[in-house]
Amino acid sequence: MKKKIPLVYRVWFAFGFIIATFFALSFIITLIGSLLNTTMTVEFVKSHFIFSRFGVVGGYLIHIFGNIFFAAMAIFFALLSWKGFSSQINPPELLTVSHVTCKKCEKVHRLYYKTFQDPNTDKHCEERGFMPMPRDNKIICDCGAEIDLSDVRD
C-alpha cells in the first residue's frame, strides 16, 4: 500500500521546485547573454570587485563557468524537489499486530506477523501476550472452536 507524502511537505517541495527553476533559468539566461555579448561581460568583469582580481580573461572564465556550475546545481535541486513532490512513500510493514475474537466464546486472541527474522521480536511480543501467526492460518481456541485466519493474514 502506497501512501502519499503529507501536504505540508508537498507544498515545500513545490516551493523549492519553483525557486530552483527560477534560479536555473536566471543562470542560463545570464550565461547566454554573457556568451552573446562579450563586450558587456568584459566590462562587467573589469568593474566587479571579485572578478577583476583575476584579470579580464580569468574573471571572464570564472564568470562563465560559475554560471554553468550554478545553473547545473539549480537544475539538480529542481529535479530533486520535483521527485520529492511527485513521489509516494511505500512504508515497510515489518510487524503487523491483530486481534481476533472467537465467535463461540468471544475470547480475544492477540496475534503478530513479522516479515523478518529476529528472536528478540518474538520474545518481546510473547511477553506482551501475543502469539505468532500460525503457518496454516488456523488456531484452536480454548473452547475448542477452530478460527480461520486467512482473512487476517491478507
Domain housing 10: 3-89
- Does residue 110 share a domain with residue 84? no
Question: What tens digit of pLDDT does each residue of 100-148 get?
Answer: 888 888 888 888 887 767 777 788 888 888 888 888 888 888 888 888 8
Q: Return the ∠ at Cα 131 (arms to 124 and 119), rounded to 5°.
A: 40
- Does residue 7 share a domain with residue 37? yes
Distance CA(61)–CA(11), nearest Å, equals: 38
Query: Final residue of a domain: which of 71, 89, 107?
Result: 89
Distance CA(30)–CA(70), nearest Å, equals: 11
Given this model, what pLDDT does residue 1 score? 45
Question: What tens digit of pLDDT does each residue of 25-53 get?
Answer: 999 999 999 999 999 999 999 999 999 99
**pTM surpassing 0.85?**
no
Distance CA(13)–CA(32), nearest Å, equals: 28
- Does residue 11 share a domain with residue 70? yes
Average pLDDT over residues 86-104: 70
- Does residue 76 share a domain with residue 25? yes
Parallel/antiparallel/unpaired status of strands 95-101 and 88-89: unpaired
Res 2 pLDDT > 60: no
- Does residue 74 share a domain with residue 24? yes
- Does residue 83 share a domain with residue 14? yes
- Does residue 127 share a domain with residue 82? no
Average pLDDT over residues 79-87: 82
One-letter amino acid of 137? N
Parallel/antiparallel/unpaired status of strands 88-89 and 3-4: antiparallel
Given this model, what pLDDT does residue 119 score? 76
Q: How many domains does the chain have?
A: 2
Query: Final residue of a domain: which of 89, 123, 143?
Result: 89
Q: Which helix H or strand E contains 39, and what residues bound it?
A: helix 38-47
- Does residue 115 share a domain with residue 53? no
Most trustworthy range by pLDDT among 74-78, 94-98, 150-154: 74-78
Query: Final residue of a domain: which of 89, 104, 126?
Result: 89
- Cβ(131)–Cβ(138) under 8 Å? no
- Does residue 80 share a domain with residue 9? yes
Given this model, what pLDDT does residue 97 score? 75
Distance CA(79)–CA(46), nearest Å, equals: 35
